[in-house]
Amino acid sequence: MYEKRIERLLSAMEARGADAALIASPENRFFFSGFTGETGAILITNDSRTLFVEQRYALQATMETKGLAIVNVAGGLYNSINDTIIGDGVKTLIFEDDFFTVSVYRTLKRKLRCEELIPAGDLMLRLRAVKDAGEIERLRAASALADEGLAFARRLLKVGADERDISLKTELFLRENGADSLPFKPVVVSGTRTAMPSALSAAKELAFGDAVIVGVGLRLDGYCAELSRTFFVGSADERARGLYEAVRSAREAVFAEARTGVPCRDADMKARTCLADAGLREAYCHSAGHGIGISPVELPRVRVQSGDTLCTNMAVNLGVGAYESSFAGARLTDTAVITADGARPLTQSSLELEVL
């Protein structure tokens, strides 16, 4: 598995005229090696694959990685890396410019014994965009737990319940049931506050007739999943039902459009067109989604400004939200995998309008 990923990186290095790549971000170290330690660096050259770690991570590195030489950097990280750079005749090296600070970049230029540093840009994210079978299974497991978390939160929705209390209890439920971490606290937003797309849970009690947006995200076995649903407490009037059904119809259209070979901008335009046809043009104020995997936000970008094209087995957080100021909002999103027939949801929670 990791060897195939490294082979793809080597091909990308060759295309960029580089003969080495230095990988230090936790996400990319994990992707190329399985190593989960807090610090360390991987150097990939045409001749070697090396994981550099401090002594405190040496045993962990041995247990988690295969196919990489493990070097204890007791003598200093840059000295150890330079030994390999010199030994393998490295001249040009790709580095993660979106991870290293300017200060660290200056240190790299000063200390590394190579002729040129080449910014990686979004290279690593592009290598991670299409998921292999093992990654999809991890995403499926994470999605199942996200569904369980949403179901748990749903059971707590009632008149008088507090948004932050539901969020906290849901967070505890997810952690107790195996989540490694949460990329964001569970979102429970009610009433007119649902018209704010980025609102967080507050010290507000749920009232009769409230719309409630619930969003759940987690990381399990290194991979993220998330979903959101909209519920109604006690009652849903005609306008609220109309808003919900318009969002659900738009979501179904987006999932059908988001198939292999389709430009990402077309999937986002489908959401915009559907909502505009329902008289909700101004209520759509973000995009239809983004990639998801080791990080909660990855490539591709499913928005009108995107130049990305959807590929088979890309994993995405995909859906639609509409927000009417001073009234309410509705959001329906899922973790999904792109196929030739459309986006296949991995999260399986019901999309039916529910009045609790």
- If asked whether residues 321 and 231 sit together in one domain, one would say yes
What percent of the chain is predicted at pLDDT more than 90? 96
Residue 354 lies in a domain: no
- Please report whether residue 119 resides in a domain: yes
Separation of alpha carbons 250 and 256, rounded Å: 10
| Whether residue 303 is found in the same domain as residue 314 | yes
* Domain stops at, among 97, 128, 159: 128
Closest to 225 measured CA to CA, from 138, 343, 326? 138
- pLDDT digits over 46-101, tens only? 999 999 999 999 999 999 998 899 999 987 888 899 999 999 999 999 999 999 99
Q: How confident is residue 217, by pLDDT bands cut at 50, 70 and 90? A: very high
Tens-digit pLDDT profile for residues 29-44: 999 999 999 999 999 9
One domain for residues 183 and 320: yes
Tokens standing for residue 158: 């009632």
Domain assignment present for residue 353? The answer is no
| CATH classification of the domain holding 137 | 3.90.230.10
- Domain boundary residue among 108, 128, 148? 128
Q: Do residue 304 and residue 220 come from a single domain? A: yes
Residue 325 and residue 253 share a domain: yes
- What does the pLDDT read at residue 1? 85
The domain in which residue 136 lies consists of: 130-345
> For the segment 274-315, what is each residue's pLDDT rounded down to a tens digit?
999 999 999 999 899 999 999 999 999 999 999 999 999 999
Count of the separate structural domains present in the chain: 2
If you average pLDDT over every residue of the chain, what do you get? 96
Same domain, 152 and 271: yes
- Looking at the structure, tell me whether residues 121 and 144 fall in a common domain: no
DSSP β-bridge partners for residue 95: 22, 119
Same domain assignment for residues 259 and 143: yes
Residue 208 and residue 124 share a domain:
no
CA pair distance 260, 5, nearest whole angstrom: 21
Name which of 284, 278, 260 is nearest 332 in CA terms: 284
Does residue 287 belong to any structural domain of this protein? yes
pLDDT one-digit tens code per residue, 253-279:
999 999 999 999 999 999 999 999 999
137 and 99, same structural domain?
no
Q: pTM here?
A: 0.95
Cα–Cα nearest to 265, from 298, 317, 309, 322: 309
pLDDT digits (tens, 9 = 90+) for 144-167: 999 999 999 999 999 999 999 999
Q: Which of 128, 151, 175 is the last residue of a domain?
A: 128
Using the CB atoms, write b or e for 30-59: b if 16+ within 10 Å.
bbbbbbbbeebbbbbbeeebbbbbeeebbe
Phi, psi of 274 (to 5 degrees): -60, -45
Which pLDDT band, with edges at 50, 70 and 90, does 327 fall under? Answer: very high
Element (H, E) at 151: helix 133-155
